[in-house]
Structure 1
Amino acid sequence: MLFQVEMVVKLPPDIPAEQTADIKMKEKVYAQELQRQGKWRHLWRVAGSYANVSIFDVTDNAELQDLISSLPLFPYMDIQVKPLCRHPSSIRENDA
């Protein structure tokens, strides 16, 4: 199942810089591993904000919840999820 996930990061202003750097490093490692596995299919930064728009390819809602809630930045995110399905006018034969 494909999902569009919009994530806006809102770190508290009083979080220590060292803690922020550590969380961001862990987030990058985890996100890149999910991309290598094919579960986090696309990742785009939203220009001018600390946010991204992503496409996840997972088995079901529960798997998506597990992946997203395991993100190190999850406690500091506002997240919107939209399930996707193929459009009948698409010229592609698959979702690649």
Structure 2
Amino acid sequence: MLFHVRMDVHLPTDLDPEVRADIVAREKAYSQKLQREGKWPHLWRIVGEYSNISIFDVESNDELHDLLSGLPLFPYMDIKVTPLATHPSKVRD
């Protein structure tokens, strides 16, 4: 199942710099692991924002929920998920 996911990050301005650096490092490692596994095949930064647009390829809604809630930045995110379906006009490979 494919999902379009927008993630907007809102870290507190008074967050300890060492805590911030740790969370961001763990986020990067976790996201890269999911990318290597093929579960997070597309990741794009939104210019000028601490946000991204991603495509996830997972088996179920529950799997996506588990992956997203496992993100170290999850407590600081607003997330919008849109399920995707094949468009009938898509040119197939």
Instruction: Write out per-residue CA displacement over residues 30-73 of structure 1, whole angstroms, 9 at most, x where no aligned residue.
Output: 00000000000100000000000000000000000000000000
Equivalent residue, structure 2, for 1:76: 76
2:4 aligned with 1:4, yes or no? yes
2:79 aligned with 1:91, yes or no? no
- Displacement after TM superposition at 1:92 (Å): 2.2
Percent of residue pairs identical: 61
- How many pairs are equivalent? 93
Runs of at least 5 residues in structure 2 that lack an aligned partner in the other structure:
none
For the residues of structure 2 that align with 1:65 and 1:82, how far apart are their CA atoms? 12
RMSD of the TM alignment (CA)? Answer: 0.6
Matched ranges for 1:50-65 at <5 A: 50-65=50-65
Equivalent residue, structure 1, for 2:32: 32
For the residues of structure 1 that align with 2:25 and 2:92, how far apart are their CA atoms? 36
For the residues of structure 2 that align with 1:92 and 1:46, how far apart are their CA atoms? 28
TM-score after normalising by structure 1: 0.95
- Displacement after TM superposition at 1:27 (Å): 0.2
Runs of at least 5 residues in structure 1 that lack an aligned partner in the other structure:
none
**1:40 partner SS:** coil
Equivalent residue, structure 2, for 1:19: 19
